[in-house]
Amino acid sequence: MSTVLIVGAGPTGLTLACSLARQGVGVRIIERSPGFQTGSRGKGLNPRSLEVLADLGAAERLLGAGCSRAVFRKYFDGEFVADTDPHEGVRPRPDVPYERGLLLPQTRVEQALREVLAGYGVEVEFGAELAGFEQGEESVTARLTSGEVIVADYLVGCDGGRSTIRKRLGIAFEGSSDPETAMVVGDVELDGLDRGYWHQWFGAKGALLLYPFEGSDSWQFQANPELDRDGRVVEPSLESFQRIVELHTGRTDLRVRSTSWLSTWRVNVRMAERYRVGRILLAGDAAHVQPIAGGLGMNTGIQDAWNLGWKLAYVLTGQAGPGLIDSYQEERLPVAARTLDITTAAMIEVVERSRTPGVGLEVVRSDDTTGLAVHYRWSTLAADGLDGGPQPGDRAPDAPLADDEGRAVRLFELFAGSHFTLLSFGRPVPQLDGPVVGFAIDAGPGSLQDRDGHARRAYGVEGEALVLVRPDNHVALTARAEEVEAVRHYLSRLRAL
């Protein structure tokens, strides 16, 4: 029996597959396309997604392939206005290993995740399309168009905004669509522009954005569409892209010499009313779609999978009760609702402020778009906490430490994997049962040393304390050093869910 069947091999499905495979869970991931996608599509990983991918072993494969500091070259009504760096003034912090996001094609993210997944002996099954499914109390039976039948413990739909699985489950996709608001997007090769900048034209005629990808001749093209005499969107093509370039730039020397991926995008703001029906779950665009402003689509899907992966694995390996999976919807559905609000407001602000010369896409950048502020304080998995510092449900911060021999160690290195992590400040690690690994900090010989106090500041600890961190690097609880029983109770409650 395949333990988990994942439908859809985009960033969401691949992140989930990597998480499950790493934890020893049998997984199959199918994709109806005959091969991997070639269009750039989403092109930004925010800092939180980089943390997730680093934990899975994919980030190092990506950092050299993308750009973390793009300079915006801005124009208004065809005239150059200014060059700006939206990350100017952003400095590295001990608690945040990636202070900036990373710009690169979504295809490169998928490639890196496929490589990680292959290391666990799992390959994407391309050209495999789901025809139907049924579920019982103990399993899900899926039928492929090829005639193959797959029996799995759980089925996860990562099959995009038009999700077949969501539709067949009858789950409402609540929200709105605006067919009148459209953009054309594509990957093009273009002569005549400096590749050292993200070129952004705004003005009375709308917008044109051209971003150059590292290590290639390709640019991502985004613009308001060309309309025909009846006001209908002209299908994107090399010729229409050339006319759009000339319209916004006022230049005839810029030549679009080839196109590959071409698409038309329309504003959709929708969210599934629920993420689970029995043994079938939804993640990524199958569960929510939002405006592109802020670049949160791919990132939210990756973080859905990060939340779900350890929970499915803990249930399937007997480390937690089946009720743990209910916390996936409890935690991630409110995050999706918030994301829809953020991206809708950002889209409105871009449209309104782009009418002012010198204003560009930096208006959408905020703590909300980094992913670092996402928390689950309302969750049933968030236990009691001490005053000050991160609260249960918050992202667990990083910090530099040193081992007994003076070698540098980071908290995120200790967190990496599928275990809970117990940080014991000022005391030896107590004896515990269950999926938890403990580390003593500033507790004498053999413990880790917080020489510069970064870990204590990050967690608001002045003396002795305990911090329990979940496998997805969110704080489970904080307690006084003598309250070891609170940690034991938390872990036993997990098993009883």
What's the pLDDT score for residue 360? 66
DSSP string, 252-321: SS-EEEEEEEEEEEEEEEEEES-SEETTEEE-GGGTEE--STTS-HHHHHHHHHHHHHHHHHHHHTTSS-
pLDDT mean over 68-91:
89
Q: What is the pLDDT of residues 63-72, one digit of tens each?
A: 988 998 889 9
List the domain boundaries for the chain: 2-65+103-174+269-370, 400-496
Confidence bin at 180 (pLDDT 50/70/90) = low
pLDDT digits (tens, 9 = 90+) for 189-230: 999 999 999 999 998 888 999 999 988 999 999 999 999 888
Does 131 have pLDDT greater than 90? yes
More confident site: 362 or 390? 390
pLDDT above 90 (res 50): yes
Q: What's the pLDDT at 362?
A: 64
Question: Is the whole-model pTM more than 0.75?
Answer: yes
Burial (CB count within 10 angstroms: exposed 0-12, middle 13-18, buried 19+), residue 355 = exposed
Between helix 297-316 and helix 47-56 the angle, nearest 10°, is 40
Those residues whose C-beta lies under 8 Å from the C-beta of residue 222, and which sit 6 or more positions away, are 183, 184, 185, 207, 208, 209, 210, 211
**Which one is the CATH code of 2-65+103-174+269-370: 3.30.70.270, 3.50.50.60, 1.20.140.10, 3.30.1490.120?**
3.50.50.60
The CA-to-CA distance between both ends of the chain, in Å, stands at 24
Q: pLDDT band for position 294 (50/70/90)?
A: low
Does residue 471 have a pLDDT over 90? yes
- Chain centroid offset of residue 236 CA: 28
Separation between Cα atoms, residue 421 and residue 417, nearest integer Å: 10
pLDDT confidence of residue 90? 82
Average confidence (pLDDT) over 339-360: 74
Find all residues with CB under 8 Å of 398, minimum gap 6, and list them: 51, 94, 95, 96, 97, 410, 411, 412, 458
Residue 248 has pLDDT above 60, yes or no: yes
- 261-279 confidence digits (pLDDT tens): 899 888 788 999 999 999 9
Say yes or no to pLDDT of 394 above 70: yes
When the pLDDT of each residue in the chain is averaged and rounded to a whole number, the result is 92
Label residue 342 by pLDDT band (50, 70, 90).
Answer: confident
The Cα–Cα gap between 107 and 120 comes to: 20
pLDDT tier, 486 (very low <50, low <70, confident <90, very high otherwise):
very high
In angstroms, the Cα distances linking 181 to 115, 191, 339, 377, 394 are 37, 29, 20, 36, 36
CA-CA distance, 192 to 190, in Å (whole number)? 7
pLDDT of 129 strictly over 90:
yes
Q: pLDDT-derived band of residue 138, with 50, 70 and 90 as boundaries? A: very high
Question: Options 3.50.50.100, 3.40.50.1820, 3.40.30.10, 1.25.40.420; which CATH number does 400-496 get?
Answer: 3.40.30.10
pLDDT of residue 2: 65
